[in-house]
Amino acid sequence: MENFAVFRTPKTILYGRNAFENVGTEASQRGKKALIVSDKIMDSLGIVSKCRNLLEEQGVQSAVYLGIASEPTDQYVSESLEILQKEQCDIVISLGGGSCIDTAKAIAVLATNGGYIGDYMRERKIASNPPVPHISIPTTAGTGSEATDATIITNTSSDVKMMIKQPAFMPEVAIVDPLLTISAPKNVTAATGIDALSHAIEAYLSRKSHPMTDTLAVSAMKLIVENILTAYTNGENEDAREAMALGSLQAGMAFSNSSVCLVHGMSRPIGAIFHVPHGISNAMLLPAVLEFSKEACVERLADLGRIFDLNNESLSSKEAANIAVNSIKDLCVKMNIPNLKGWGIDQSTFETVVDKMSVDAVESGSPANNPRIPTHDELVKLYHVCYNYQFSVEETVN
Ligand SMILES: NC(=O)c1ccc[n+]([C@@H]2O[C@H](COP(=O)([O-])OP(=O)(O)OC[C@H]3O[C@@H](n4cnc5c(N)ncnc54)[C@H](O)[C@@H]3O)[C@@H](O)[C@H]2O)c1
Ligand SMILES: [Fe+2]
């Protein structure tokens, strides 16, 4: 840790069952007309019309953008920004998974700062004007994006998932209502749950971790480890959904103020090129990357192992670190996570892009935060290991 650390969060966070009912009140304190950034699935579940009604009850008008049909691209950003401007909206409300939230973050900043979203990558352009107030409402648990100052948008010309991180992208308000996640199907629950777990683990292992982020990361790891399988197998279980929503929020705050590391760095190119959902591509990588990193972070991985194996106080750090890796493999098996080959990625296509993926991973900046920083050749090798990874105890990296 340097001499001091900075910790940023949304100005207001409402969390818990029925927090969503307050969206009208929060919006009416910030503007007169909201653009709701959502998708057709949320609309078909009646959540978008419920949001509009709650806004109307408090005298807030609304317009809607429902064009998000995949993880966010620069095209969704320009389409939704156009509606925001045409409809003269003075608030943005994201209602959906990370894809809706990240799109909304981008337009909230672009509306007042201008330019192309990619200009803001690696702080080439700084958003110095305050963004349009953004109320983020996640329906997955989750990306934690409701409480992070990052947005990830695919550049459709270069097939790069651009990682953009600046304080202006932080939503002003986060409303985290676990009841909104009940309808998430099994595959979404698995992908987003592992994403949240990856955030907590990477925030804790990161070279940028500090005591404030450690507290949240450890709490998030506990909540997620103890509840992820129940939420997956019994999605109606409100207690498990509530714990996952809270864990995801805490993990988001942790990594936003610490960082993500090698898993996310390697995951984004898989998403950009092969369109694998973000949480699934993280899960494909997580156990192998932890094995690769283990020697450089035995004590911290051991803390995770002790969360998985609560009753065993006599474990050495090395044994506990191994339990952490093997327990993650086991989780992946129980939640039917495929390897890249099993997802249907053609081997010869994979071979032609693995070099570009390794370069793009490093370019995102995240691998440099990992306890063990890979060389280019090690990255290429790790991608190959993950292509055929078996998630079994016998499987080893190095
Ligand atoms: N900005 C950040 O800090 C951050 C962090 C992690 C991930 N991300 C980004 O978030 C995106 C992924 O978000 P995601 O994993 O939440 O998935 P998503 O937003 O892409 O949603 C996946 C699918 O689940 C559906 N869905 C969402 N909630 C539902 C519900 N309650 N009921 C039924 N269906 C539901 C959506 O309609 C969609 O079809 C990626 O682009 C990733 O890069 C951003
Ligand atoms: Fe993530």
For the chain, list the domains and their CATH numbers: 12-181 (3.40.50.1970), 186-388 (1.20.1090.10)
The residue nearest atom 7 of ligand 1, judged by CA position, is: 143
Distance 220 CA to ligand 1 centre (A): 19
Element (DSSP H or E) covering residue 155: strand 150-155
The residue nearest atom 27 of ligand 1, judged by CA position, is: 97
Which residue blocks in the chain are alpha helix, DSSP H?
A: 23-28, 40-44, 47-57, 74-86, 98-113, 186-205, 211-233, 238-257, 262-274, 278-293, 298-308, 317-334, 340-343, 347-363, 376-387
Whole-model pTM above 0.75?
yes
User: Is the minimum distance from the CB of 177 to ligand 1 under 6 angstroms?
Assistant: no
What is the sign, positive or negative, of the torsion defined by CA atoms of 299, 300, 305, 311?
Answer: positive
Q: How far is CA 392 from CA 68, 91, 327, 396, in A?
A: 36, 48, 10, 9
What is the sign, positive or negative, of the torsion defined by CA atoms of 14, 19, 20, 26?
Answer: negative
DSSP state of 157: T
Q: Which residues surround ligand 2, an ion (CB under 5 A)?
A: 195
Residue 2 has a pLDDT of 57
Residue 366 has a pLDDT of 94
- Two tokens, residue 253: 């705050």
What is the Cα–Cα distance from 63 to 48, expressed in whole angstroms? 11
Give me the residues of the chain with pLDDT under 70, please: 1-2, 398
The residue nearest atom 10 of ligand 1, judged by CA position, is: 98
Distance 49 CA to ligand 1 centre (A): 20
Task: From the CA of 148, give the closest atom in ligand 1.
Answer: 3
User: Is the minimum distance from the CB of 242 to ligand 1 under 6 angstroms?
Assistant: no
User: Is the minimum distance from the CB of 272 to ligand 1 under 6 angstroms?
Assistant: no
User: Is the minimum distance from the CB of 166 to ligand 1 under 6 angstroms?
Assistant: no
Half-sphere exposure of 247 (CA within 13 A, CB side): 31
User: Is the minimum distance from the CB of 148 to ligand 1 under 6 angstroms?
Assistant: yes
User: Is the minimum distance from the CB of 237 to ligand 1 under 6 angstroms?
Assistant: no
- Two tokens, residue 280: 């699934």
